[in-house]
Amino acid sequence: MTAGLAQGDDGLVRCIWAAGDPLYAAYHDREWGFPVSDDTRLYEKICLEGFQAGLSWITILRKREAFRRAFEGFDPARVARFTPKRVERLLTDAGIVRHRGKIESAINNAARTLEIQREHGSLSAYLWRFAPAPRSGRLTYAVLRTITTSSESIALSRDLKKRGWTFVGPTTLYAFMQSVGFINDHLDGCPVQEPAAAARRTFCVPA
């Protein structure tokens, strides 16, 4: 087996991080690395990457539906109106990650999302300005293990922080970029690498 790949219980080969849990496998096969243009989903992913800090991504995946219920489907216009009383209620919700700073960050970033939408027309149009050109050449496990940020994730982090966003460090945003198809980090030999690349080739980058 090529380094960085593993065979799941269903007999399919995947990037090694996705091989141990059916929820991970489904996320890997259908979402990770595929381009996203919907503002609500992009805001959600930034929030969830922030909640993931210090935790495993499988923890967030298992709580994702509870997060969606708690945060009104991650509609930024609704979340931006959450009050301190609502924060206290969320801190009692065992279905989500009960971290005051991260909850308050999601609310703050909802308001900042609305500002970007007014300035750029959509959050998507703003964010995709920071997407790198599709990678050329092979991506091995040895190389991927050395990558935690990129010049683009650093630039995006810097710009978002200037705009008042929180929990948007370069490492968090690199993971975000991987998850929404700005970057295709499926390894060489992963059968999802080419479908993700094909989706990016036919994707219409928001203007």
Which residues are known to be catalytic?
27, 49, 57
Q: Tell me, letter by letter, the H, E, C secondary structure of 40-83.
A: HHHHHHHHHHHHHCCCCHHHHHHHHHHHHHHCHHHCHHHHCCCC
Instruction: Tell me the two tokens of residue 5.
Output: 């790949």
Alpha-helical segments (H) within the chain: 22-30, 39-52, 57-70, 76-79, 84-90, 100-120, 123-127, 141-144, 151-162, 170-179, 193-202
CB 163 within 8 A of CB 112: yes
Residues contacting 26, CB < 8 A, separation 6+: none
